[in-house]
Structure 1
């Protein structure tokens, strides 16, 4: 006798099968068709959504996305932020904003919207308004469908996140930053972290955009290359961070999440300076343990809590 499928498995299979069937019919990419499959369920199968929790829906979407990646090669910037990274980031967003009942969160270069969905799931006791900035039209549409599927509010801004943003005074900015060179030199030269010659680093410019769009005293949580503070142009970056922000933490994600040491990522946490209110802190530098090592993970979280008490007495 087969075990009855749980609601998450049912949703995953429906999304997976529908996306692949639609791909065979219309020839569009699997990612585009996943958006249409989400639409089919939230429009015509509301009973399924009503039986499921936010986490079950998000996980069904995540597994469907990962399943479709086996069917087609996608560009690196279409990769989804792994759950373990999303959970740590969400936990820290909550910790740094413990006393806030409402949060305005901007997700810069938001991709599928999965990182914002994870943050929403982990901060359900707060009223969170999500603003997503994404240049890729396929990912823009997918994140809108995901918001409807999850029944959480996303405002999606369809634009290049390095161009001037129609946003300011965010409480929190998050981002899983794409790494590379930015081709629009005219825009780079208007920015403090643009290079005087040649193409500038897109991840430097996105970091500057994040700080600019944050309210004084607000926080920036960016997933960046672990080697961010290496290289010829790093003095320019260090000067900008020291001038505009109070650096809070640089936390290295576990090696096991990445194929190579070169591709390893870290979480950079900054607080935008607010004269008279923000103060410099002892920067928290640490390696985040593997999620499977529960004891070490609990020790790490306890150390973060202790650091918060010493540096941010609430």
Structure 2
């Protein structure tokens, strides 16, 4: 496999970006639509006939030349992910995509990976992962690549309700040669998903519009619309195998709302709240947008409530001394509680 330097990653991004601009010069695509099309063409190293019929011969030839000059088949999936991330970030900005559709930043993705390494069953050489709100697929791919690097055979599923985002995720996971099944649906509905060893999710924040469906959930609001992120946490817990963990990106103040009691009841029916770590405030624009990583465990014969729930603030990731101290505290917590 070929490992790319940061310069090479930026070169691959530049090649992707060039193909996007070539497509947009002749077709009325948004940036992300063109990126989805171009990434799919890159997988095939060619342009489909129906697309060639729309493009001028010069543009079709230039695109084909770029696609055939990019060697993704022998490039590390994580390097491909980083290049795609640069392109998707540019597209999200250019297309003015709503906040709930933004990509999970790498700093948060890597903290997910860190906690997964601490809590996962190390005897498992094969793992099934579910992301019920997969979006562009960046968080799922970050976790997938980290586990695959640890010589774990990974099988993943992602659920997404947005047409464009699931198309992006499909393109990105195929380009990274990942074993991922994606389903286009509302994740609060019943899912055709076999039990999984791990759930990861950057939860969309807001109200769920279908009250009749929400009422079937323990975490539903007593009156009015229910929080979608509450319902999705409860839903995710149902698809975890016994003793398995779920990690969720949630609002920092989630348990300080009036609706928190019904969410806690749902969690306690299905498993245990084992931790909640507040991410560094430097990662967020303001106090209202601050997030935390919620660590839940499904009930089972080897699961019990931690004597001390892992609570606290993750220090500034650039502060090496503080991070080392924090990691030691997490190690101590694991020894005493899991």
Which category describes the TM-score, using the shorter chain as reference length?
over 0.9
1:51: Cα distance to partner?
Answer: 4.8
Give the match for residue 235 of structure 1: 261
Contact 2:218 2:263 in 1 (8 A): no
Listed as ranges, the gaps of 5+ residues in structure 2 are 46-66
Change in Cα spacing, 1:297 to 1:5, as seen in structure 2 (3 Å) is: closer
- Cα deviation 1:40-72 (Å, max 9, x = unaligned): 222214652145322221110011111223322
| Closer/same/farther in 2, CA of residues 81 and 5 from structure 1, 3 Å limit | closer
- Of 290, 293, 303, which residue of structure 1 is paired with 2:329? 303
Residues 8-46 of structure 1 deviation map (CA, whole Å, 9 limit, x = unaligned): 122100111222332332212211211112122222146
TM-score of the pair, normalised by structure 2? 0.87
1:88 aligned residue: 111
Cα distance change, pair 111–138 in 1 and its aligned pair in 2 (3 A): same
Identify the match of residue 118 of structure 1 among 139, 142, 147.
142
The alpha carbon displacement at 1:148 in A equals: 1.3
Q: Is the 8 A contact 2:218 2:265 kept in 1?
A: no
How many matched pairs? 308
* SS of alignment partner, residue 250 of structure 1: strand
2:316 equivalent in structure 1: 290
Q: Which structure: larger Rg?
A: 2
Q: 2:127 aligns with which of 89, 103, 113?
A: 103
Q: Is the 8 A contact 2:251 2:290 kept in 1?
A: yes
Residues 53/277 of structure 1: CA separation in 2 closer, same or farther (3 Å cut): closer
Partner of 2:227: 201
Conservation of the 8 A alpha-carbon contact between 1:16 and 1:67: no
Corresponding residue of 2:80: 57
Q: Deviations over 1:124-182 (max 9, x none)?
A: 22111110010111111111110111111110011101111111421111110001011
Match for residue 190 of structure 1?
216
- In the alignment, the residues of structure 2 paired with residue 51 and residue 9 of structure 1 have an alpha-carbon distance, to the nearest angstrom, of 17
Residue number in structure 1 paired with 2:305: 280
Answer whether contact 1:7 1:52 (CA < 8 A) is retained: no
Counterpart position of 1:258 = 284
The yes-or-no answer on 1:151 pairing with 2:152 is: no
Partner of 2:204: 178
Counterparts in 2 of 1:128-167, with a 5 A limit?
128-167=154-193
Farther-moved stretch of structure 1 (209-218 vs 302-311) = 302-311
Instruction: Call closer, same or farther: CA 1:214–1:51 in 2, change over 3 Å.
Output: closer
Length-normalised TM-score, structure 1: 0.93
Verify the 8 A CA contact 1:8 1:52 in the aligned structure 2: no
For residue 51 of structure 2, what is the aligned residue in structure 1? none
User: Which sections of structure 1, spanning at least 5 residues, go unmatched?
Assistant: none
Equivalent-residue separation in structure 2 for 1:298 and 1:34 (angstroms) = 39
Q: Report the equivalent of 2:17.
A: 16
SS, match of residue 94 in structure 2:
coil
Looking at structure 2, the residues matched to 256 and 126 of structure 1 have their Cα atoms a distance apart, in angstroms, of 33
Give the superposition deviation at 1:256.
Answer: 0.7
- Are the aligned partners of 1:101 and 1:126 in contact in 2 as well (CA < 8 Å)? yes
